[in-house]
Structure 1
Amino acid sequence: MRRLAVAALLLPLLAAGCGDDKDAYCGAVEDHQQKLSETLGDGSPDALLKALGIFQDLADESPADIQDEWQQVIRSLEGLQQALEDAGVDPATYDRAHPPAGLTADEKRKIDAAAADVGSGATLQALSDLDQQARDVCHTPLTV
């Protein structure tokens, strides 16, 4: 009986906390929607990397049930960013078919592997799931 009473007292607090998480996340989605749309829609080859900061902000505000999806996206983008940085390559101008002079085979392999991770089914599915979740829960897509 005592456990039931404690649970009855805690339930409103837990529910309020969940609502706050959702509200904070949905607010972040709305706050970042226009900039994310502009960043991803600019057509630049490094658009996803430019959006990394926005994705990190959204992940920080996201509820626990979508943390894994955000981590998949962020981990893969950070991996690509690191591979390009380690190779001293500008992501905006990198062309796999015509790599810059001085790029070693190992650096190219690491960039290719990181790019493949960004384009992997797991990362693309995570992005799709995150957009669907924003539509379902926040009633707004990640981008316009």
Structure 2
Amino acid sequence: MRRVVGGAATVVVATVLLAGLSACGDGDRFADYCAEVEEQQKPLSEAFAGGGPTALIEALPSFQSLQEKSPGDISDEWGLLVGRIETLVDALDAAGVDPATYDRDAPPEGLSEDEKTAIDAAAGELATPATAAALEGVQQQARDVCKAPLSF
């Protein structure tokens, strides 16, 4: 009987130790992410300071860095956000359009209907409730876990 109890106790202790080690790994991931949040606060504030139409594009490098360091519980939100901005950048690049001067109502000469449609579709995806929820989610995570705001 002692041998069975001792064996069961060993399994329980091993399970607790493995859980603790895996939590430390998450802790490291959160620490790395929170350090990145703090590092990206100034560039993000600068990107959004003017409130211009290219703010999300200007913020993309910071968002990509945060996505790379993000812990699993917020990686989907970062993936959605970064993916949608990259899709818009790709559509603008493919059309040879400067995001800072693009005017949907007065598109540049030579812009095909397909290129305009691709740009409109990509921009439209940024204005969806799912994108807004992802933005709120990453901001909430930064406040709750890192105790550092990300202001967009």
Aligned residue number for residue 106 of structure 1: 114
Cα deviation code 1:95-137 (max 9, x no counterpart): 0011000001111011000000011111111001110111111
**Unaligned 5+ runs, structure 1:** none
Secondary structure of the residue aligned to 1:51 is helix
Q: In structure 2, how many angstroms separate the alpha carbons of the residues matched to 1:92 and 1:103? A: 16
The match for 2:3 is: none
The aligned residue for residue 138 of structure 2 is 130
Equivalent positions of 1:1-144 (< 5 A) are 1=8, 2-143=10-151
What does residue 4 of structure 2 align with?
none
Give, in whole Å, the separation in 2 of the partners of 1:43 and 1:142: 15
Higher relative contact order (CA 8 A, sep 6+): 1
Unaligned residue ranges in structure 2 (runs of 5+):
1-7
Alpha-carbon distance between aligned partners in 1 of 2:11 and 2:48, rounded to the nearest angstrom: 50
Deviation at 1:68, TM superposition (A): 0.4
Query: 1:38 and 1:74 mapped to 2: Cα distance?
Result: 18
Paired residues in the alignment total 144
Identity %: 49
Name the TM-score, length of structure 1 as normaliser. 0.95
Question: Structure 1 stretches (4+) deviating beyond 4 angstroms?
Answer: none
Q: Which has the larger radius of gyration?
A: 2
What RMSD, in angstroms, separates the aligned Cα atoms of the two structures? 1.3
